[in-house]
């Protein structure tokens, strides 16, 4: 059984009410439920976590050094700012899939650069909430 860590960053706990014109009305709990349903059917175990705090995300990435087969990460705004998250991800020898609900390249210019992309096996962006399930599908194939 594949063990997959899914990390989501700041403000994603407000999905469903936060800028619905960009992110839709689906909640983070809905996304987690979709991921669990996919995982159960495909011999995956997921550990789904969200934090608004960079240090927690880094601690969890370090946990992925032991016992996880893949990482799905939507670092949200930290994608564009956090060298610390980049450095933590560099330590992993498991596949990393970067996910974004919207497509950052179609938004403000400061969102066009990702510190995660150079380390990711794949980037899924602009596919809405289903991007998380697409990441699990991809990990199912490559792990």
Residue with tokens 């490559």: 142
Residue 32 within any structural domain of the chain: no
pLDDT single digits (tens) 12-23: 999 888 877 777
Higher pLDDT: 6 or 25? It is 6
Per-residue pLDDT band for 132 (boundaries 50, 70, 90) equals very high
Average pLDDT score over residue span 92-97: 98
* pLDDT score of 143 more than 90: no
* pLDDT score of 48 more than 90: yes
Residue 131 within any structural domain of the chain: yes
Residue 110 within any structural domain of the chain: yes
Residue 31 within any structural domain of the chain: no
Per-residue pLDDT band for 69 (boundaries 50, 70, 90) equals very high
| Whole-number Å distance between alpha carbons of 117 and 59 | 20
Residues marked active site are found at: 23, 100
How many separate domains does the chain show? 1
Q: 88 with 58: CB under 8 angstroms? A: yes
* Number of other residues whose CB lies within 10 A of the CB of residue 30: 14
Residue 52 within any structural domain of the chain: yes
Residue 18 within any structural domain of the chain: yes
Residue 30 within any structural domain of the chain: no
Question: What is the model's pLDDT at position 110?
Answer: 78
* pLDDT score of 102 more than 90: no
Which CATH number covers residue 47?
A: 3.40.50.9100
Which residues constitute the domain of residue 120?
A: 2-25+37-142
Residue 70 within any structural domain of the chain: yes
β-pairing verdict for 70-74 and 2-8: parallel
């Amino acid at each position: 059984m594949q063990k997959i860590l899914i990390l989501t960053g700041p403000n994603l706990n407000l999905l469903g009410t936060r800028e619905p014109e960009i992110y839709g009305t689906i909640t983070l709990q809905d996304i987690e439920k979709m991921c669990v349903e996919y995982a159960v059917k495909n011999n995956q175990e997921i550990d789904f976590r969200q934090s608004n705090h960079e240090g927690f995300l880094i601690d969890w990435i370090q946990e992925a050094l032991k016992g996880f087969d893949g990482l799905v990460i939507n670092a949200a705004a930290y994608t564009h700012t956090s060298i610390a998250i980049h450095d933590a991800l560099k330590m992993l020898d498991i596949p990393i899939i970067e996910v974004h609900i919207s497509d950052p390249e179609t938004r403000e210019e400061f969102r066009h650069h990702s510190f995660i992309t150079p380390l990711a096996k794949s980037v899924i962006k602009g596919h809405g909430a289903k991007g998380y399930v697409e990441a699990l599908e991809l990990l199912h194939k490559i792990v």
